Structure 1
Amino acid sequence: MSDSPPSASPDADIIVVGAGLVGVTSALALARQGHRVMVLDTQEPGRGASYGNAGHLATEQVFPIADASILMSLPGMLMDPMGPLRLDWKYLPRALPWLTRLVLNLRPEPFGRSVAGIRALNERSLAAWQRLLASVDSSHLLKADGSLLVYEKPESHAKLEALESRMREQQVPVALWDRNAIQRAAPQLSDELLGGLFFPATGHVLDPWRVVTTLVEAARRQGVQFAQETVRSAQVVESGVRLVTDSRQLTASRVLLACGAHSAALTAQLTGKHVPLDTERGYHLMLPREHDRLPFAVTSLERRFIMTPMETGLRLAGTVEFAGLNAPPNMGRAWQLHRLSHGLFKTDLDAGDATPWMGFRPSLPDSLPIIDRVCDGRVLLAFGHHHLGLTQSAITAELIADLAGAADSGEGLSSTSDLPPLAPYRLSRFG
């Protein structure tokens, strides 16, 4: 920590770095507490991973991003550029330390901690989203109609039953559906599908971009300032924090880092800790001519991708690539999603005027985000939600607001709130 020179009053009480869903929802929550909040991002609010996510509130996904099968899959990840999980062989040397940590996390004890931490957030996430959207008169943007995982091959039935058992052990609401149940609920799906798992306590948003812009407008009405600037450096000072952007210097009493895959460098500057943050490069293909094909999000067990109905069409998503922040996108991976959809419907999907997209999802090797308050309360952290950023952003905002309120009062987390304990998400778990 260094002393800051005498200056005028801070530019904000709290500066939020990152204008994705986590940053915007947190900014709104903090402003509602009475804080003067400023949000900085290199891009227009919501234009990062929040713009292109699958739109699925994946509360059922309580298991880490990888299990022991990843070890057997590694050769295929390196060799198949169109596989559902791709590791660029040129990126392997940089990814190896992260992958090593991920493998170590597959041991029973740390794996169990990860499951418990994910579940604690997910089981509260849908209700948090319902509260948030109701507070901005936009409940209609969320459809809490469940989601479906389907399978096609007889040999997949045992795998599906095993997954159902694991879900029930974690108290995830789930129902086993046969092909007749699927046809009743989603008659445009192929009658060759053998069955699936229905998750009633999940949902989807009608348009992730519209959700972000709605929340940005609500935050602006609450007094939040948004600026499109890149933060070049950050420093804890006696009066709070000092940020240097590409155009000016800013001071605030506190900073919230919520810039997703770009959070590691600023975390190191502010806290001295180096977090093992890597990037899942996610792809989607938006089909604007496809409406009313599905009543809810549908995932294929064998093909490993998801299809989500939205106001603007049908979004196909789910392919993951590890290649870092700088490699150019391989949009062939997005178009591959359309080929994967062949045979899942009675008639193939129309890809006319389709648009591909790629974005960065921040991933930590234990599949848990960092949600914390450090540096004597001057630094708040909320990043690393990997493919659950949309799902967990509203409950994360409630946690951040509780952390900020606790700092203001000099107390700990509210004991009366239904918030999960923060221990699994602390920065200190990375030494």
Structure 2
Amino acid sequence: MAEDFVVVGAGIIGVACALQLARQGRRVKVLDAQAPGRGASYGNAGHLATEQVFPIADLSILKRLPAMLTDPMGPLRLDWKYLPRALPWFVRLLLNLRATQYQRTVVGIRALNEGSLGAWQRLLASIHRSELLREEGSLLVYERADSRPALDALQQRMRQQNVAVDFWPAEAIRKAVPQLSEQVLGGLFFPATGHFVDPYHVLCELVEAAKASGVQFVTRQVRDARVDADGVVLTTDQGTLTARQVLIACGAHSARLTACLTGKKIPLDTERGYHLMLPHEHQRLPFAVTSLERKFIMTPMTGGLRLAGTVEFAGLERPANMARAWQLHRLSQGLFREELNVRDATPWMGFRPSLPDSLPVIDRVCDAKVLLAFGHQHLGLTQAAVTAERIGQLACAGVGQTDVPAPGPYRLDRF
């Protein structure tokens, strides 16, 4: 007997989509090789980054390439052993930085981000856990006088994209965030952003709500997939199952299954992101703070202070370089009046799924038998709730119907 709807992937995107589909009356089963939320969703920065409407890179990446290859602790790192595999992806990234393509990306990111806060408000309110999101804004600070022109230019660009942003002088920052050092000269405050007090706990609450709505979570690794007349056949490490519809939402692991089902080779790579969790830091910051020069973010959570950031391109197979996580502590030195307490700190690394145009795939293909939701790069948490609403719209029309929202810039066939 065929399953009704199978979601492959139990990260924040897959779980949010599963809950949305179940509430629309679908019988949903979620498959993942590990427990829900143990991938990238476990250790993200926790920042609701609605202000981040620009692609993950600009043309300055060409000047930074030598440092990317030679500095293992740099904020943007490309493992030289991975360069041959990464080179085609980087070429496509550069091509997408041309004016027309760049603007298309900005429009696409902004459209999702503008709906993200409201979508999260609706989703958390529906499970009676609105307190898990703190809507108190976020701050980008600078420390060097020669950084001010870049900050002003960024503020202007963001205002042109209708991003709510205010300049805060040093006095305003010291009043709002007294723990920061005198080195901070000012910054940009983003009032329409927020942070999650524990991203993994948010996911666990969504899992429980999904289970209450009838969603089944099964630990299985999907090894192969194909479309047939009745739906989609999935081959797993525990046998084969058939589903009328399938959603591929397994993040950085989505390319292979998408190719099996659609025949398309997707240029999906992974930004390896690191964090360092400081369990004894609870009163340092009222909201997320990012450093312009140091290029990392600090987010207050119930479990302590999370230092996160840096991007490493080294693929899915190479072991984590946890020295990069500890580098985040060194980056924090000098930002506070008193140094952070790193006792019992824990490092972590996860895979962010990234496409060279910085846009996700949110689409339905194969006569609506296959739905896709992956490639959200470092905005997976931010865009999870609004993506779930879009997938719900794409799925509700059913197989064979065409009266559904157009996927627009998130369509699969852009590749």
**Aligned equivalent of 1:354, options 342, 345, 353:** 345
Q: Distance in 2 between matches of 1:394 and 1:108?
A: 30
Shift of residue 44 of structure 1? Answer: 0.4
1:335 CA drift (Å): 0.2
Structure 2 CA distance for aligned equivalents of residues 121 and 185 of structure 1: 29
Please report how far the alpha carbon of residue 292 of structure 1 lies from its aligned counterpart in structure 2 after TM superposition. 1.4
Structural mapping, 1:16-415, within 5 Å: 16-407=7-398, 410-413=401-404
SS in structure 1 at match of 2:58:
coil
Where does residue 414 of structure 2 map in the other structure?
429
Q: CA deviation at 1:409?
A: 8.7
- Distance, in Å, in 1 between the alignment partners of 2:22 and 2:400 is 16
1:319 offset after TM fit, Å? 1.1
| 2:384 alignment partner, SS class | helix
In the alignment, the residues of structure 2 paired with residue 246 and residue 258 of structure 1 have an alpha-carbon distance, to the nearest angstrom, of 18
Q: Cα distance, 1:192 vs. partner?
A: 2.0
Identity of aligned residues (%): 69
Separation in 1 of the partners of 2:250 and 2:365? 17
How many Å apart are 1:408 and its aligned residue? 5.7
Distance 1:391 1:183 in 2: 28
Q: Are the equivalent residues in 1 in contact too, given 2:367–2:400 (CA < 8 A)?
A: no
Q: Is the 8 A contact 2:73 2:324 kept in 1?
A: yes
Residue 407 of structure 1 deviates from its aligned partner by 2.7
Following superposition, which runs of at least 4 residues in structure 1 exceed 4 angstroms of deviation? none
1:155-197 CA-partner distances (Å, limit 9, x unpaired) = 0000000000000000000000000110111111112210000
User: Structure 1-normalised TM-score?
Assistant: 0.95
The one-letter amino acid paired with 2:163 is: V
For residues 271-324 of structure 1, give each alpha carbon's deviation from its aligned partner in whole angstroms, at most 9, with x where no partner exists: 000110000000000000000110100000000000000000000001110000
Deviations 1:322-377 (A, max 9, x none): 00000000000000000000011100100000000000000000000000000000
Query: What is the deviation of 1:411?
Result: 4.6
In the TM superposition, what is the alpha-carbon distance from 1:413 to its structure 2 partner?
A: 3.0
Instruction: Tell me, in whole angstroms, the C-alpha distance in 2 between the residues paired with 1:50 and 1:335.
Output: 20
SS across alignment from 1:407: coil
Deviation at 1:412, TM superposition (A): 2.4
Gapped runs of 5+ residues in structure 2? none
SS in 1 for 2:367: coil
1:368-425 Cα deviation digits (max 9, x unpaired): 00000000000000000000000001000000000001236935236xxxxxx62100
State the aligned residue count: 415
Q: Which amino acid aligns with 2:135?
A: A
Q: Tell me the SS of whatever aligns to 1:140.
A: helix
Residue type of the alignment partner of 2:277: M
Letter of the structure 1 residue corresponding to residue 249 of structure 2: A
User: What is the DSSP-based 3-state SS (H/G/I as helix, E as strand, rest coil) of the residue aligned with 2:397?
Assistant: helix
Q: TM-score, normalised by structure 2?
A: 0.99
Q: 1:249 to 1:409 in 2, by over 3 A?
A: closer
Inter-partner Cα distance in structure 2 for 1:221 and 1:249: 26
Local SS of the residue matching 1:167: helix
**Residue matched to 1:3:** none
Q: Which AA in structure 1 matches 2:127?
A: V
What is the rounded CA distance, in whole Å, between the counterparts of 2:379 and 2:392 in structure 1?
20
For 2:399 and 2:137, locate their aligned partners in 1 and report how far apart those are by CA, in whole Å: 39
Counterparts of 2:413 and 2:46, CA distance in 1: 31
